Structure 1
Amino acid sequence: MAGISFPGVGSGLQVSEIVTAIVNAEKVPYQNRVTQKQAEFTTDISAIGSLKSALQEVNTSLEALGDADNYQQRTASGRDDFIGISSTKDAAVGNYSIEVDALASSHKLMSGAIDSSTPVGEGTMTIEIDGDSFDVVASATTTLSELRDLINDDAANDSVVATIITDGTDQHLVLNSKETGVSSEIKITVDDIDGNDTDGTGLSQLAYDALAATPVLNMTEVDKALDAQITIDGNVTVTSSTNDFKDAIDGVTITAKKVHDIAGGDDLSKATISEDNSNIATGINAFIESFNALVDLSDQLGKSEDGAVGALAGDSMLRNVMSKIRSQFTTDFETGVSSSGKTTYSMLAELGVRTERSGHLSLDSDTLDDLIDNDPNKIQNFFVGTDTATGFVESTEELLEFYTQSDGLIDRRIEGNNTQISKLEKDVEAFNVKMDALEARLYAQYNSMDTLVAQLNNTGSYITQQLDNMPGVVKDS
């Protein structure tokens, strides 16, 4: 506080030092208590926040184990120059021989030579592929390049691409179907202004219908519209409008890339579909790693020995959440139905996950591998659950989210700590106002006392002087 900072004029007392000492006698202990409380709340927020993060990591690590698609997957091998192969988990395990007999191709037509500046002919051209058609109208002045643009720009055209090949002053119109397969064959009919729709003059020179009773072949077929064909295991012939064969073998997609020449010495392609359960061990190890990290953090936060006390030593929330998670490890979860029709149950340890003396988890790979080889459904049902029961993952996730979700136990505790910190800050403001008032009051009191002492000193000096001046008064020597 700004005020008198010099010794008392009348009393000689160190007023500032006295007032400061009295104020500090109240202020310092209070400040120490507040600082300690703020530190406790801040430390708790940090500690409980790190616990939340570790719990969320455990929750995240369970996601893969809770996804049924990650179990009993299939691996397809046998890719070579002739085929590509992929599979879903629905594919049957087995070995197959595959011969590529033909590749799919699109239909390609080319017109004869037409002068680039000469109108192609007036009339209407109808282009049809697999039952879908669109019309292009050519005027008396439409050139071949303009006809190309009319074809490509037509809003109804989603089946054919028109291009021009130029040879000197002559041009050739090329039509190519966008799709492959026999069904992509192009049919072109014309309504020629000259009344003859199939001759080789005017717009009719672009007519093409190989399937008509009387074929019209005024354009040249460059590439036939062909289906792809493969033979599986030497007996089953399968065709496809594309080079992809989906579910010719259940759950398997075969892509034809090159035709086999068996007579020329090509070997048949060999495809193998095998079961892949590597995701199971990967998922369990990820869970174990995240849980062990949680155990390490819990030990650190809850430590109360050797003179080093953790931030959450003796904390009921830390103790409860760890206890509840561990109880999941000894809970039976439904895993299937026995041959006698009874529901079967298993605990985590039966899958090879062990709890060590330290509280950490470890994996007995031999136990897990044996179960994967003999009963992968049991593992899937344990983690994912069945139609009638919740699995380990969902049950544990619900437990963890009770603590970690927005407005969960941890968030409410952090919010409570922040509320207490805000209250302390307001209390400090009020206390500082109180101390300012005390300081002002003390200065007023001591200054008043000092003034009174000065007045008394002046009065004493005056009386002494008057006595000294009285007749007959003898001063002490």
Structure 2
Amino acid sequence: MAGISFPGVGSGLQVSEIVTAIVNAEKVPYQNRVTQKQAEFTTDISAVGSLKSALQEVNTSLEALGDADNYQQRTASGRDDFIGIDTTKDAVVGNYSIQVDALASSHKLMSGAIDSSTPVGEGTMTIEVDGDSFDVAATATTTLSELRDLINDNAANDSVVATIITDGSDQHLVLNSKNTGVSSEIKITVDDIDGNDTDGTGLSQLAYDALAATPVLNMTEVDQALDAQITIDGNVTVSSSTNEFKDVIDGVTISARKVHDIAGGDDLSKATISEDNSNIATGINAFIESFNALVDLSNQLGKSEDGAVGALAGDSMLRNVMSKIRSQFTTDFETGVSSSGKTTHSMLAEFGVRTERSGHLSLDSDTLNDVIESDPDRVQNFFVGTDTSTGFVESMDELLEFYTQSDGLIDRRIEGNNNQISKLEKDVEAFNVKMDALEARLYAQYNSMDTLVAQLNSTGSYISQQLDNMPGVVKDS
């Protein structure tokens, strides 16, 4: 704007009000149009964003139905103080009696009493468990506690743990195998400096080999290395190096916890393996819930009656996505092969999923349970697919991702709206510059006019004064 001026001083006109009115005559309609456009773009971004979220919820709800591991699961009962049971979907349905005859245990040896400050003996000790061995070298000054550390810190030792039990000034070396079972038995051979490796003096006092032709038992066996053993249905006896029996019954893992004392009145454990398909109804209900929420949102966004208009009323994208989703409900998907060798197909409604007049879905549980009971493979194949065809879930996933993926149709639309908003912001900046120039120009023109009028008024006053002072001029009283 021009420098300091006093608009209207010469002319008496309200120059500021006139200039403001002229500028606003152009600015206000433009600002109203821009504000309306920005609101339209922002509303569309919010609307399609909420639509995307609802579609993603539908897609997420289908994940469980698309996982083959969630079908035809097994439920095991009969866990008690004696056994634990875990199953996979490969478990054979049936009832079993199980008796725990023995628990697996690790091998444990203890040395005789050795003075804590006395060297244990010079030589090399070889410790072997289940075919794996490592050597420990003892010097002439190695004490029992130092020997313990040499055993535990040996990089090749992955089979035994050495500890010390102290009794006054005497110590006992205790070796415990890390694993259980008969194969965990500890063998200790000694290359003693005195040349006698089994006489129980020096380092040979720690020798132990119960399986040698002439057994060497210079350490005491505290716990015997034993396999676990169970008997199934009174006829099949099975052993394990651990207390876990995997796939002794197909798809079942039995954990032995406590030995049965049948003579003492303990009852045999009873295990029951049954089929569990409850997760199918749970998955379908989750899908129905998310789809019904999508229907409610679609009705809200697309509403165009009773004087209320939704943000996406008449929008082709909203109509198309809802139409395509509903078309999946009436699409045939491969479900197996009939007894005559023909490929069979099914639609969603055959599993109890109904479309209500409102457009919402509901589940007829009786229909679903009947199909599951008669042919669970049919249900799984419909949702998951077969080796030769896609299922309902994968087909829906492909459809929904076209709209919801990071570079999908909805994101491209949101990006377009944001670009339009950015363009409007730049246009507003340019328009404001234009309005500033117009305002400055108008003030300059009105100031010039005001100055001219002031000059004319001054000249008029001067002429009038001169005329009044001319000789012979008579004034009217």
Q: TM-score, structure 2 length as denominator?
A: 0.99
Query: Do the aligned residues in 2 keep the contact of 1:6 with 1:16 (CA within 8 Å)?
Result: no
How much does 1:116 deviate? 1.1
Cα pair distance change 1:394/1:5, threshold 3 Å: farther
Partners of 2:275 and 2:83 lie apart in 1 by 21
Residue in 2 that maps onto 1:272: 272
Q: CA deviation at 1:475?
A: 2.6
Unaligned runs of 5+ in 2: none
Deviation at 1:473, TM superposition (A): 2.0
Give the direction of change, closer, same or farther, for the CA distance of 1:9–1:370 in structure 2 (3 Å limit). same
SS in 2 for 1:176: strand
CA contact (8 A) 1:6 1:15 kept: no
In the alignment, the residues of structure 2 paired with residue 37 and residue 335 of structure 1 have an alpha-carbon distance, to the nearest angstrom, of: 51
Displacement of 1:7 in angstroms is 4.8
Query: Shift of residue 308 of structure 1?
Result: 1.0
Please give the alpha-carbon distance, in whole angstroms, between the structure 2 residues aligned to 1:229 and 1:75.
24
The farther-off stretch of 467-476 and 13-22 is 467-476
Equivalents in 2 of 1:403, 1:211: separation in Å?
A: 72
What is the rounded CA distance, in whole Å, between the counterparts of 1:201 and 1:104 in structure 2?
Answer: 33
Q: How does 1:296-445 map to 2 (within 5 A)?
A: 296-445=296-445
Secondary structure of the corresponding residue to residue 65 of structure 1: helix
Native 8 Å contact 2:144 2:173 kept in 1: yes
Shift of 1:236: 0.6
Q: Is the 8 A contact 1:129 1:159 kept in 2?
A: yes
Distance 1:462 1:166 in 2: 131
> Could you tell me whether the CA contact under 8 Å between 1:6 and 1:14 is conserved in 2?
no
| Deviation (angstroms), 1:406 | 0.4
- 8 Å contact kept, 2:74–2:275: yes
Identity %: 93
Could you tell me how far 1:3 is from its partner in structure 2?
6.5
Deviation at 1:197, TM superposition (A): 0.5
- State how far apart, in whole Å, the 2-side matches of 1:444 and 1:202 are: 117
Q: State the superposition RMSD in angstroms.
A: 1.0
* Alpha-carbon distance between aligned partners in 2 of 1:426 and 1:352, rounded to the nearest angstrom: 56
State the distance in 1 between where 2:135 and 2:28 align.
95
Q: Distance in 1 between matches of 2:468 and 2:369?
A: 119
State how many pairs are aligned. Answer: 477
1:134 and 1:36 map into 2 onto residues whose CA distance is 84
1:393-447 CA-to-partner distances (Å, cap 9, x unmatched) read: 0000110000000011000000000000000000000000110111111111111
Question: Displacement of 1:234 after TM fit?
Answer: 0.7
Deviation at 1:453, TM superposition (A): 1.1
1:141, 1:259 → 2: CA distance?
A: 46
Deviations 1:197-252 (A, max 9, x none): 01011111111000000100111111100000000111111000000000111110
Structure 1 CA distance for aligned equivalents of residues 145 and 455 of structure 2? 120
CA contact (8 A) 1:4 1:16 kept: no
Deviations 1:249-297 (A, max 9, x none): 1110000011111122111111111111011000000000000000000
Deviations 1:113-171, CA, capped at 9 Å, x for gaps:
11111111110000000100000001011111111111111110000011111111111
Structure 1 stretches of at least 4 aligned residues deviating more than 4 Å after TM superposition: 1-7
Distance 2:362 2:440 in 1: 69
For 2:338 and 2:162, the matched residues in 1 are separated by 65
Deviations 1:330-382 (A, max 9, x none): 11111111111111111100010000000000000000011111111111000
Secondary structure of 1:397's partner?
helix
Instruction: Judge conservation of contact 1:5–1:15 (CA < 8 Å) in 2.
Output: no
Q: CA deviation at 1:474?
A: 2.0
Per the alignment, do residues 65 and 3 of structure 1 end up closer, same or farther by CA in structure 2, a change over 3 Å counting? farther
Q: Contact 1:116–1:143 at 8 Å: present in 2 too?
A: yes
Write the deviation string for residues 447-476 of structure 1: whole angstroms up to 9, x where unpaired: 111111111111111222222222222234
Cα deviation, residue 6, structure 1: 4.8
Single out whichever of 62-71 and 164-173 deviates more from structure 2.
164-173
Greater CA deviation, 106-115 or 452-461?
452-461
CA contact (8 A) 1:333 1:345 kept: yes
Gap regions ≥5 residues in structure 1 = none
Alpha-carbon distance between aligned partners in 2 of 1:439 and 1:412, rounded to the nearest angstrom? 40
Distance in 2 between the 1:408 and 1:231 partners?
60
Q: Deviations over 1:51-89 (max 9, x none)?
A: 000000000000000000000001111101110011000
Distance of 1:2 and 1:401 partners within structure 2: 60
- Output the CA distance in 2 between the equivalents of 1:296 and 1:9: 66
Q: Structure 1 residue 4: deviation in Å?
A: 6.3
Checking the alignment, whether the CA contact within 8 Å between 2:2 and 2:444 is kept in structure 1 is no
